Amino acid sequence: MDAKAAAREKLDSIRPRITELSHKIHANPELGFKEVKAAAWISDLLSEEGFDVKTGICGLATAFSAKAGSGPLSVCICAEYDALPAIGHACGHNIIAAAAVGAGIAAARAADEVGLSVTIIGTPAEESGDAGGKILLLERGAFAGMHAAMMVHPAPFDFLTPKIIAASMFVVRYTGKEAHAAAFPEMGINAADALTVAQTAIGLLRQHILPTDRIHGIITKGGDAPNVVPARTAARYIVRSQTLAELERLRPRVYRCFEAGALATGSTLEIVGGDRPYSEMVHDHGLVALFKNNAEMLGRSFPELDMPADRGVVSTDMGNVSLAMPSIHPMIGIDSFPASNHQKEFTEQCVTESADKAVYDGALAMAWTAIDCARQAAIRNRLLARSLPK
């Protein structure tokens, strides 16, 4: 039997279990670095399917790697499984995880025959925005020896090369001094005013940044009582630019807005994190072309989306992986429009029949792409020529 047909037969045989895995993760949303159940369910399934599974790798309790096959070409498939606060799996990472598992199992069926080894890397906390799972796993060697990386991400439409830009998330804390807000307000130092000044400064800054930049955040602590001058406030902000280089120019300008808040009010400022940003994504066009062809064989189509450069941008730590090795991050459509990622309406769309089909199609298109990489001499040799050092 042809390798691709064998991979498809294997995926068909485990399709109910992959669908069940997607639904189970969806019904049990877990936040970044706390994805205990999801990581265990995935690891157990891959163990049963004969993968060599290592859990809690690189000092991360909810990361894992699972390897099968012994061929010279090492392809890794990234599985994400973290959810968002309050709105659950509104980014559909249950679909990403189940598709990755399906792809790995299907590709493993043909791996030795075509000269492939396939590793599913469980990458926690993609939604964290700073020092995400893939960044820590890259730093700590989980991707060593890999020649290429891939994953699929659900979206309203099929889209091969989403605009993935650099991003940096950080926490801001101001400390002032409490006082009775009516009796002795002159004795207080208002840490909430510091945030107001900072937000005003950021609002003015917006006139002078690139249309492709993004600055957005939330106040996570604004005070404790209206009759007490707030002494401790906090916020979480994300700054994004097209590339890491542009981000490094924008981020200090935003920090200065927060410094302005401290200066104006006499509060002290602390900024935590932001130093391990998500990078822009470099899509490997050879791998993209293979994935496109395989997805089209399954009946998917990729019309040109006429999207301006500053619209529809996202960020992911898969960008960092793409700077280390040839990578793809196609969006797999679940027919959810107008519901889109990070809306609770999208959460509901991530366990529909269309979502389940995206799991299957994403899995098979990735498995076939891995098989193509091993069988087609030109791309195989290009990938083998360079791998992340062990």
Using CB under 5 A, list all residues that contact Zn ion: 91
Which is nearer to Zn ion, 192 or 328 (by Cβ)? 328
Which is nearer to Zn ion, 8 or 329 (by Cβ)? 329
Which is nearer to Zn ion, 91 or 135 (by Cβ)? 91
Which is nearer to Zn ion, 60 or 91 (by Cβ)? 91
**In which element (H, E) is residue 43 found?**
helix 36-48
Phi, psi of 177 (to 5 degrees): -145, 135
Which is nearer to Zn ion, 94 or 117 (by Cβ)? 94
Minimum distance, C-beta of residue 169 to Zn ion, in the bound complex (Å): 12
Q: Are 376 and 369 in contact (CB under 8 A)?
A: no
Rg of the chain on CA atoms, in Å: 23
Q: Chain-centre distance of CA 140, in angstroms? A: 18
Instruction: Give the CB-nearest residue to Zn ion.
Output: 91
Q: Residue 214 burial by CB count (10 A; 0-12/13-18/19+): exposed, middle or buried? A: middle
Dist CA 33 CA 26 (whole Å) = 16
Q: Residue 211 burial by CB count (10 A; 0-12/13-18/19+): exposed, middle or buried? A: exposed
List the beta strands (DSSP E) in 156-286.
Answer: 166-175, 214-221, 232-241, 268-273
Minimum distance, C-beta of residue 363 to Zn ion, in the bound complex (Å): 17
